[in-house]
Amino acid sequence: MTDPNWRDLPPLSTLRAFEATARLSGYSAAARSLNVTPAAIAQQVRKLETEMGTALVRRQGRGLTLTRAGQDLSQPLREAFALIANGIDTVKQKDAMRGLRVSTTTFFADEVVFPRLKEFWTKHPGLQVSFSPDGNDASVDLENFDIAIRGSLKGAVWDGYDATPILRSRLMIAAAPALLEGVEDIRTLPWIRERSVHDTELLDVASRAGFDVDTLKIVDTGSAKFEIEAALQGFGLSMGAEIVFRKYLEEGALVEVETPFKEEGWYYLIQHKGPQSQSVAKFTEWLVSLCDDIPDG
């Protein structure tokens, strides 16, 4: 198969108008098919005839008939457009079958996405979504994932990607009520290591909260998924987004610890720049709408 010489080919709009006219036997039917006016279709067909230097259709009574040249052109065009349509459908089907891959944080998935995920699958039953709870400290890998969700301070930037802030939640320090019982100075209490931030950032937060970082005791659970449980068991103070602690605060399982530390955090939706697949577009639209419904913390 030889490569097409695009400089010698007529405009695609004229070929599409003629193919529809030939297949549907008239300008009016072609116009309805392409959602334009019959006059626009007729103009495109005449433009194609001028481009090719030959008549393609003729009036016959109140209808149209194809000339010999029109017959010779209509079948290859129909086959070519059908081949294009089939190729597009194949790509879409493969994309849908592959599913959507989301890199996120454990807490965002547990507290924001999973409680409402059934709504998404009810609306888009054929779209599979898989989640990898990589955490905030994991690098953003959009070669193996379609989108990433990360928590950070306001104004964070991921070079080369689009990063959209989708959920604001102030950062806070929480603890189990039992941990605070009988404690006269909270600065003597240990902290649970927050694996979503670097150690230097955690020490900075502790310092701003009034703690002596040189004597600070840190409890390391070894995994982000155990941090909330450690806080609930009273192993130490826990720093995180209010949205993460919200249900435990409402239940009384955790209480907020008042300190001078004040900071605003955001969750960001990170994706490639430019056009997105339908799967990505559907999920991001739902996710943004979901976050819009969640009260700021």
Q: What is the pLDDT of residue 95?
A: 65
Q: What separation in angstroms does the CA of 118 have from each of 26, 50, 122, 129, 220?
A: 47, 56, 6, 11, 34
Average pLDDT, consecutive stretches of 10 residues, N- to C-terminus, the chain (297 residues): 77 94 93 94 95 92 89 94 89 71 90 92 89 84 91 85 92 94 92 79 88 91 86 93 92 94 90 88 94 82
pLDDT of residue 1: 60
Which CA distances in Å does 102 have to 51, 59, 146, 293? 49, 57, 6, 21
Q: Which residues, at least 6 apart from 104, have a Cβ–Cβ distance to it below 8 Å? A: 113, 131, 132, 133, 134, 148, 149
- Collapsing DSSP states into helix, strand and coil, what is residue 60? strand
pLDDT for 111 equals 87
pLDDT number for residue 180:
95
> What are 25's two structure tokens?
């036997």
Domains contained in the chain, CATH given: 12-97 (1.10.10.10), 102-160+267-289 (3.40.190.10), 170-264 (3.40.190.10)
DSSP code, position 2: P
pTM as predicted: 0.65
What is the C-alpha separation between 92 and 95, in angstroms, rounded? 5
Q: What is the pLDDT of residues 151-205, one digit of tens each?
A: 887 788 898 999 999 999 999 999 999 999 999 999 999 999 887 777 787 888 8
DSSP state of 109: I
